[in-house]
Structure 1
Amino acid sequence: MTGGLSGIGRAIAQRFVDDGMIVYVGARRGNDPAFQENLRTTFGKSISVRALDVRRSDSVATFVDAIVETHGKVDVLVNAAGVYEEAAVIDHPDSMWHETIDTNLTGTFKMIRAVMPLMMTAKWGRIINIASVAAHQGMARNAAYCASKAGLLGLGRCVSLEGADHGITCNSISPTWVETEMLQQFIEHDMQRLGQSRVEARATYEASNPQGKLVQPDEIAGLASFLASDAARAMTMADYQVNAGSLW
């Protein structure tokens, strides 16, 4: 899986380990000894961390080849690596656009392209892309992010059709605000910008959905666990919104 060092990705990694799976996490900081030790302490020997930059085809190939060399196959791919930055369309920096699309969308494509031949040979595979309600709804100052997540839905439909005869499913999960490290950064930014207390800033995000509660990472992980199972054989070409009733 990609992006398993924090937030939703880390929660999915934990759930997969609890399910008895051997998990390989790829991240740009994957060679950092501190991160490797942290994950080993948390998850034990069932998880390995390696350097991976999903924007680079050579890095993707090296990561997948290393897994095949040690494990022999790839059963499940979770694409959770992602970046988020805000900018208005007018004067939107090219660099921000390219970074967002290359990581969130093109990186996902490159990972799928690398593992699909392995899954086809095995006649079994599960591909899960972490999208967002932003794939369905627009939001001012989020053109790059919304475009990248919407692209995942189209990519997933094509992958599911090409994988159907080979026992491969491809689905996406589209959460609303999830209580992750990234959201905590947004809350701290709002505290400084608006002079709010942490409770006040957090309440704004909680009130963004009718349930009045933030989605938790392990709720996303529970759905990912099911989609990765044999029980989800007929579930493909779908996007599952975990939105607590909200549009964002």
Structure 2
Amino acid sequence: MPDLTGRSAVVTGGLTGQGLAIAHELARIGANVAVGSYVSEAAGRRGDAAAYPDPAEIVAIRGALEAHGGQVFAGHLDVRDTDAITQFLADAQAACGPADILVNAAGTTAEQPVVGHSDELWLKIIDTNLNGAFRMIRELLPGMIARKWGRIVNIGSTAASVGWKDNPAYCASKSGLLGLTRCVALEGAPHGVTCIMVSPTWVETELMRRNVEQVVEREGKGRSVAAAMAEIAEQNPQRRIIQPDEVAALVAFLCGEQAKGITMENIQITGGALW
């Protein structure tokens, strides 16, 4: 595992799920870490499946990350809002230093077919999963180029490569994220900046559980969420669901010096399964 002592990382979606697991792994191997997610007391999901943390959770998350020994910043970050991004990054830099690493893990989805899909929900998913990553990269890439070192990891999905019934906005956003990854990789290549997409299949997070809840509700067959998740695990050739720490370990390696030649790739973590 690489040593990231002296490096500073920004992780969007870093207060929950895969983002939080990644933040812990980066902090464990020496990085200063700034984590941000959309924080809401009222959740305000409007039909999407994201797991929005409560403000009260931030203190505990910050303390757990600080236990690794580095500098930590944790706070509200709405990647759909340019002003919110600007404020978050200013606070993050003051606490942790200029960002050498960006992990775009903020994301959401919803169980909706194309027919009857609302504009509001479509735009919310695209704006979070794709536009949000673009905004973060646009802000942090110039500094990485100037310092001649940077790592950008976009958390994608196997949905970038294959469709998934009743999830058109999610699939479209992750396909777009792959295209963005390739373009940023080319832009950063002469300057020591890499850009990679890591694409897991189902990962056992709160986002997954909420998404499965929506699937079960749409089916209307009385099947429990636990039974549905067990079926997903059984359908995987490894007979299990991918865990957040598996994603975190790969991301941490890609952020190290030994991975400087790995860029423009879409690395899948599937257990042998595609949707």
Other structure's SS at 1:87 match: coil
2:157 corresponds to 1:132: yes
Match of 2:169 among 144, 158, 163: 144
The answer to whether 1:212 aligns with 2:234 is no
- Could you say which residue in structure 2 is the equivalent of 1:106? 131
What is the aligned counterpart of 2:265 among 231, 238, 244? 238
Partner of 1:70: 95
Report the Cα distance in structure 2 between the residues aligned to 1:198 and 1:102, rounded to whole angstroms: 28
Measured in 2, the distance between the counterparts of 1:107 and 1:226 equals 24
**3-state secondary structure, aligned to 1:82:** coil
Letter in 1 for 2:181: G
- Name the structure 1 match of 2:27: 17
Question: Is residue 190–residue 196 contact of structure 1 (8 Å, CA) maintained in 2?
Answer: no
Residue segments in structure 1 that go unaligned for 5+ positions in a row: none
Name the structure 2 match of 1:121.
Answer: 146
| Deviation, structure 1 residue 62 | 1.6
The residue type equivalent to 1:28 in the other structure is: Y
Instruction: Report what 2:85 is aligned to.
Output: 60
User: C-alpha deviations, 1:24-74, integer Å up to 9, x for none?
Assistant: 011121896412212033222643212211111121122222223333311
- Report if the CA contact (8 A) 2:108-2:207 is conserved: no
Q: Give the corresponding residue for 2:256.
A: 229
- Superposition deviation, residue 124 in structure 1: 0.2
Runs of 4+ in structure 1 over 6 Å off: none
Distance 1:239 1:164 in 2: 16
- The Cα RMSD (Å) is 1.9
Q: Conserved in 2, the CA contact under 8 Å of 1:29 and 1:35?
A: no
Give the % identical residues: 46
What residue identity is the alignment partner of 2:222?
G
Q: CA 1:24–1:139 in structure 2 vs 1: closer, same or farther (change >3 Å)?
A: same
What CA distance in whole angstroms lies between the structure 1 residues aligned with 2:231 and 2:132? 32
Residue 37 of structure 1, aligned match among 48, 55, 59: 59
Match of 1:247 in 2: 274
1:203 corresponds in structure 2 to: 230
CA distance in 1, matches of 2:167, 2:210: 17
Deviations 1:155-177 (A, max 9, x none): 01110000001100000111101
- What secondary structure is seen at the aligned counterpart in 2 of 1:73? coil
SS of equivalent to 1:207:
helix
Between structures 1 and 2, the one with greater helix share = 1
